[in-house]
């Protein structure tokens, strides 16, 4: 008897734990928007959609970004309607058509007209959307706002896209930088898989694909100016040609997503050295013997190092059109002792320049590297993101002067935002959003509860926080699990970065998140 009671109680506990993680599926919203708009009035009634003749009406004229978005959304909303089902719906809607209570079009206007250029940091993504019984109007200042508004419009449909909510929306993002990091160096991801994730990013109103394209394990970027570097790829089949990269960049452009490349230096560079033999320093044990197969830091004393960096980054500036580039800079301290301070050549270099340790060498490196990048073609107006070690461990306030061209990427602890903003740096956050770290519970709640501006600092410091990124590192992620590992967990980050700071109820978020999950599953 007691065994039975114990089993029942244990079952109740497990059921309670499960229900805490996964609320009742019947509670899911119908036609809800994710991320939650800044201002939303949703009517108690819905309106019927004219599936047979619904049109998107652009007043902009010919405009590739809008025209292709119309094709995508029309296919997404109406492309799968079966002929016999359409006839049935038309019969059901006949009386409403007579009563003029049916929605047949969405009118799109753009105040600044068309642009087919690439999205950039600071672009205007705001929009206004009004849906009534027989009219829908989407207004935006720029095409980027149209893309965000069309996504919201598409999410309002429900009941097999036959109904839509009546709404009045005024919407804009809370933060300018809302990104997802994918790591294609640890495990290669095909172009199609990358595109699939960009599509899902757009559905969640992210605007930045942070492409961690190379690392210790592989160098899949096929440089045309330094072709030897591709020897660091896993195989000749696991590479990204410049043509493929441009295709991905354009795919993102059409969805309002910029591609932020990261070529990590001065550490994590083993794969670089496979093709360019003198690029990395030799490493040593404390007894002076060579430390074999440990090379991961570049050699700042070698003139060829700077030639390689100049050529590669000038090429990348031409390939990636964004005004921001990620320079890496993390975890170089793993190799400071063996590969720099115990290396005889580097020790001589340290004496000449008065450098006392590994962090000071890294500070010297970036103080030379950043001006070099600005001197390159297309490099003059670039801004650079760096992992937080560059401004903390390497103390890159050279001569007590902050480098205004750098943005700190906080990944170790959310409290480190306070330190970086005290120095006056703009920052983005990833510390609480490492999605490669998984649990057996609904960890999306933790991601949802993490706010980039929730730290001890002045209002001026908090204004230096420009956004954040969900990071999916690739050690344990490949094509088989990248999408289910990332989504919908990244959706929680998306809402935190887009919606008002007042939008923070997990209980209210869940029904909408469940709804958007179903929508995303239909996209895959």
384 in Cβ contact with 405 (< 8 Å) = yes
168 in Cβ contact with 41 (< 8 Å) = yes
Q: Is 331 a catalytic residue?
A: yes
- The separation between CA 102 and the C-alpha centre of its own chain, rounded to angstroms, equals 38
Phi, psi of 180 (to 5 degrees): -130, 130
How far is the C-alpha of 70 from the C-alpha of 157, rounded, in Å?
16
Q: In a 3-state reduction of DSSP, which class is residue 212? A: strand
What's the half-sphere exposure (Cβ side, CA atoms, 13 Å) at 15?
Answer: 7
Query: CB burial class (10 A; 0-12, 13-18, 19+) of residue 427?
Result: buried
Q: In a 3-state reduction of DSSP, which class is residue 412? A: coil
Within 8 A by CB and 6+ apart from 280, the residues are 269, 270, 272, 273, 295, 296, 297, 298, 299, 339
Within 8 A by CB and 6+ apart from 418, the residues are 455, 456, 457, 461
Which stretches of 230-269 are DSSP H helices? 242-253
Handedness of CA 232, 237, 242, 245 (dihedral sign): negative
Query: Helices 303-319 and 242-253, interaxial angle, to 10°?
Result: 40
Query: Helices 191-203 and 242-253, interaxial angle, to 10°?
Result: 20
Q: How many CB atoms lie within 10 A of CB 142?
A: 21
Phi, psi of 100 (to 5 degrees): 60, 35
- The percent helix, strand, coil of the chain (3-state, each to 5) is 40, 20, 40
Residue written as token pair 């956004």? 467
**Termini Cα distance of the chain:** 49
Catalytic one of 64, 85, 112, 331: 331
Within 8 A by CB and 6+ apart from 498, the residues are 35, 36, 173, 174, 175, 178, 205
Q: How many CB atoms lie within 10 A of CB 41?
A: 11
Q: Which residues are catalytic?
A: 331
């Amino acid at each position: 008897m007691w065994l039975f009671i114990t089993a029942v109680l244990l079952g109740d506990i497990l059921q309670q734990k499960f229900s805490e993680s996964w609320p009742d599926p019947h509670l899911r919203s119908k036609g809800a928007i994710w991320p939650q708009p800044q201002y939303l009035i949703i009517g108690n009634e819905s309106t019927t959609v004219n599936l047979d003749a619904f049109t998107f009406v652009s007043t902009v004229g010919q405009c590739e970004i809008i025209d292709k978005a119309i094709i995508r959304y029309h296919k997404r909303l109406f492309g799968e309607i079966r002929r016999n089902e359409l006839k049935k719906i038309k019969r059901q809607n006949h009386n409403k058509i007579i009563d003029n209570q049916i929605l047949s079009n969405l009118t799109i206007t753009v105040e600044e007209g068309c642009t087919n250029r690439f999205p950039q940091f600071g672009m205007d993504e705001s929009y206004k959307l009004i849906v009534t019984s027989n009219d829908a109007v989407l207004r935006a200042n720029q095409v980027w706002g149209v893309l965000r508004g069309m996504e919201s419009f598409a999410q309002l449909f429900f009941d097999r896209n036959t109904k839509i909510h009546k709404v009045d929306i005024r919407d804009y993002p809370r933060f300018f930088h809302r990104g997802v990091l994918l790591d294609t160096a640890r495990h290669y991801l095909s172009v199609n898989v990358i595109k699939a994730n960009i599509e899902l990013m757009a559905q969640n109103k992210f605007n930045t694909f942070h492409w961690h394209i190379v690392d210790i394990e592989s160098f899949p970027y096929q440089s045309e100016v330094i072709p030897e570097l591709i020897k660091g790829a896993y195989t000749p089949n696991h590479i990204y040609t410049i043509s493929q990269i441009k295709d991905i960049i354009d795919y993102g452009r059409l969805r309002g997503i910029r591609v932020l490349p990261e070529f990590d230096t001065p550490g994590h560079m083993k794969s670089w050295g496979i093709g360019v033999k003198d690029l990395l320093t030799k490493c040593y044990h404390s007894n002076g013997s060579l430390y074999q197969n440990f090379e991961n830091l570049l050699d700042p004393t070698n003139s060829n190092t700077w030639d390689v960096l100049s050529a590669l980054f000038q090429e990348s500036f031409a390939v990636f059109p964004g005004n921001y580039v990620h320079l890496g800079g993390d975890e170089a301290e793993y190799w400071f002792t063996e590969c720099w301070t115990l290396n005889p050549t580097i020790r001589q270099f340290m004496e000449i320049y008065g450098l006392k340790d590994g962090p000071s060498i890294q500070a010297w490196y970036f103080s030379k590297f950043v001006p070099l990048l600005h001197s390159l073609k297309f490099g003059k107006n670039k801004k650079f993101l760096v992992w937080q070690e560059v401004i903390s461990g390497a103390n890159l306030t050279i001569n007590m002067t902050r480098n205004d061209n750098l943005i700190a990427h906080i990944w170790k602890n959310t409290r480190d935002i306070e330190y970086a903003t005290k120095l006056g740096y703009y920052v983005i956050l990833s510390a609480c959003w490492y999605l490669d770290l998984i649990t057996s519970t609904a960890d999306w709640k933790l991601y949802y509860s993490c706010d980039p501006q929730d730290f001890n600092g002045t209002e001026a410091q908090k204004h230096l926080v420009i956004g954040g990124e969900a990071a999916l590192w690739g050690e344990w992620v490949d094509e088989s699990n990248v999408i289910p590992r990332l989504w919908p967990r990244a959706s929680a980050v998306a809402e935190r970065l887009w919606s008002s700071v007042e939008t923070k109820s997990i209980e209210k978020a869940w029904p909408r998140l469940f709804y958007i999950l179903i929508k995303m599953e239909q996209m895959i």
